[in-house]
Amino acid sequence: HNIIRVVFPMALGLALVPRRGAASVMGASALGSAVVFSMAGAPALGAGALTSLVLTGFFLDFALAGARSGRSVYVRLMLAGASANLVAMLVRGGMKALAGGQLEGLPLAVWFPKAIITYPLCGALAGLISAAVWFRFAAQAADADAKASP
Residues 84-123: tens digit of each pLDDT: 999 999 998 998 888 776 667 788 889 999 999 999 999 9
pLDDT band at 61 (very low <50, low <70, confident <90, very high): very high
pLDDT band at 81 (very low <50, low <70, confident <90, very high): very high
Instruction: Between 27 and 45, name the one with better pLDDT.
Output: 27
Alpha-carbon span 105 to 87, nearest angstrom: 19
Q: Indicate whether 58 pLDDT > 80.
A: yes
Q: Indicate whether 145 pLDDT > 60.
A: no
**The predicted structure's pLDDT at residue 113:** 94
Question: How far is C-alpha 94 from the geometric centre of its chain's CA atoms?
Answer: 20
Q: Indicate whether 147 pLDDT > 90.
A: no
Alpha-carbon span 62 to 124, nearest angstrom: 16
Triad 51, 52, 53: Cα angle to 5°: 90
**The predicted structure's pLDDT at residue 96:** 86
